[in-house]
Structure 1
Amino acid sequence: MQMKPQIPTIVQISIPSTLKDPSSATTPKPEAPTNYSARAQWVRAAVLGANDGLVSTASLMIGVSALNATAHFMLASGLAGLLAGAFSMAIGEFVSVCSQYDIEVAELKRKNHGDVDAAKKDGEMPSPARAAGASFVSFALGAMLPLLAGGFIGSWVARLAVVWMVSSAGLAGFGAAGAYFGGSSVMKATLRVVAGGWSAMCITFGVLRFVAFAFQLDTSGGI
């Protein structure tokens, strides 16, 4: 009698471990949009401080040039303007942001039923020290551009031209940087900042030139 071959009752099939359930696959999360509002505090303080430092110091030096002052006197005047302006900007920004901080804390306390700790943890709070530091440093850096560019030039015409060109380039750079970090139009912001700086420098030069003519001041020194 012929024996039939035995067929195993259990068949094992190996499944590759790389196969995964499509439903368990996770899709990458989209990147969160840039929060430009969080940047607004320090961007505003930095750009405002740099523009003020550059425009005020350049206008001071160009105004003094209208009287044909010597380079050493211009350098001393520019340095005094740098220090006074930097401290004034820092103190003003500190007081302003402190007031903003108190207002926001009071508003959050009302929402959190008087819980101060919860109010301070809720969102990003403005930093007076950070804003004051940004204003001081940016004002000083902005004022250094015309101060170093024209403070050591003896010729009146060359001094005036160098301060004007360096200030224009600095204004364009600060305007573009502020627009870039703030997410706005670079061209529009640059033109706005440059036009404002030119207006301040032209008005300062014209007024002091008129004062020198009206009071018959001696403008022969420094040519």
Structure 2
Amino acid sequence: MSIPKEMHYSDRVGWLRAAVLGANDGIVSTASLIIGMATAGATLAGVLTAGAAGAVAGAMSMAAGEYVSVSSQKDTEHADLARERRELAANYEFETRELAEIYEARGLSSPLAQEVAEKLMHHDALAAHARDELGFSDVSEARPLQAAIASALTFLAGAALPLIAALGASRQSLAVVVALGSLVALGLLGVLSARVGGSRISVAVVRIIVWGVLAMGATAGVGWLFGVSSA
């Protein structure tokens, strides 16, 4: 009878990080931009135009940033694997002993560690060293395109929320409505990310809301300062 594969929260870490980062940035940056423009005295049309432009620009920036950074990680992984492949070809016995020492450090006896190392080297030497020496795994594998798409789409989804709130607000209540709506959205995002990632909900919600308040407060101050200065 085959044993069913267990699902772990760490299996989701690659796309979850990009998705939460994208949605959080979409909400915070777009809401902050709208609030900053509103406190500066911009018209409702100007605020909405700036918010929409910021949403598109932010999504493209997130996609580009994720793709470049994760591609750099992938290039480093490939370089390490190429180096390990050369070392295996040049000194197979040394690499076997190196692997055995890793298993000894984890608690295996010396004879058992040597036996395990030899069997794994025979099965797939490069995979064994990639996993146990370099720390690479399928869970942490760099996927640039996946990260870029997840970040861009979730940024746009997050950015849509303060824009929708702005559409339903009057000019006088714009900043307050957008701020409150965005904080609610951030709280829900914290709950969702905690549930999906298996972490404590209260911690996730508090930290995401605190940073959102700081960002919106800072841009409101900038908008008020420049609005007063230009009056």
Report the TM-score, using the length of structure 2 for normalisation.
0.73
- In the other structure, the counterpart of 2:225 is 210
Question: 1:100 aligned to 62, 67, 73, which one?
Answer: 73
- In the other structure, the counterpart of 2:176 is 161
The answer on whether the counterparts of 2:40 and 2:225 sit within 8 Å (CA) in structure 1 is: no
CA distance in 2, matches of 1:150, 1:202: 17
- Higher relative contact order, structure no. (Cα contacts within 8 Å, ≥ 6 residues apart): 2
- In the other structure, the counterpart of 2:64 is 91
CA distance in 2, matches of 1:37, 1:108: 23
- What do residues 62-95 of structure 1 show as CA deviations (whole Å, max 9, x unaligned)? 0111023221111100000001000000000000
Question: 1:60 aligned to 28, 33, 37, which one?
Answer: 33
In the alignment, structure 1 residue 151 sits paired with structure 2 residue 167: yes
- What do residues 159-202 of structure 1 show as CA deviations (whole Å, max 9, x unaligned)? 22221121011111112222222221111011000010011001
Q: What amino acid does structure 2 have at the position aligned with 1:139?
A: F
CA distance in 1, matches of 2:79, 2:189: 35
The answer on whether the counterparts of 1:72 and 1:151 sit within 8 Å (CA) in structure 2 is: no
TM superposition shift of 1:112: 4.1
The answer on whether the counterparts of 2:41 and 2:227 sit within 8 Å (CA) in structure 1 is: no
Any residues of structure 2 matched to 1:181-220 within 5 Å, and which?
Answer: 181-213=196-228, 215=229, 217-218=230-231
CA distance in 1, matches of 2:153, 2:193: 15
Question: 2:11 aligned to 22, 25, 38, which one?
Answer: 38
CA distance in 1, matches of 2:192, 2:83: 37
TM superposition shift of 1:56: 0.4
CA distance in 1, matches of 2:81, 2:65: 24
Question: 2:47 aligned to 58, 74, 93, which one?
Answer: 74
CA distance in 1, matches of 2:46, 2:169: 11
Q: 1:114 to 1:42 in 2, by over 3 A?
A: farther
Would you tell me which structure has more helix in proportion to its own residues? Answer: 2
Specify every segment of 5 or more residues in structure 2 that has no aligned partner in the other structure, as ranges. Answer: 89-125, 131-135
Q: What amino acid does structure 1 have at the position aligned with 2:148?
A: A
Question: 1:134 aligned to 137, 150, 164, which one?
Answer: 150
- Aligned-residue RMSD, C-alpha: 2.6
Instruction: Give the 3-state SS of the residue equivalent to 1:156 in structure 2.
Output: coil
Specify every segment of 5 or more residues in structure 1 that has no aligned partner in the other structure, as ranges. Answer: 1-25, 219-223
TM superposition shift of 1:30: 7.4
Aligned residues: 187
CA distance in 2, matches of 1:211, 1:80: 20
The answer on whether the counterparts of 2:38 and 2:223 sit within 8 Å (CA) in structure 1 is: no
The answer on whether the counterparts of 1:71 and 1:152 sit within 8 Å (CA) in structure 2 is: no
> Whose radius of gyration is greater, 1 or 2?
1
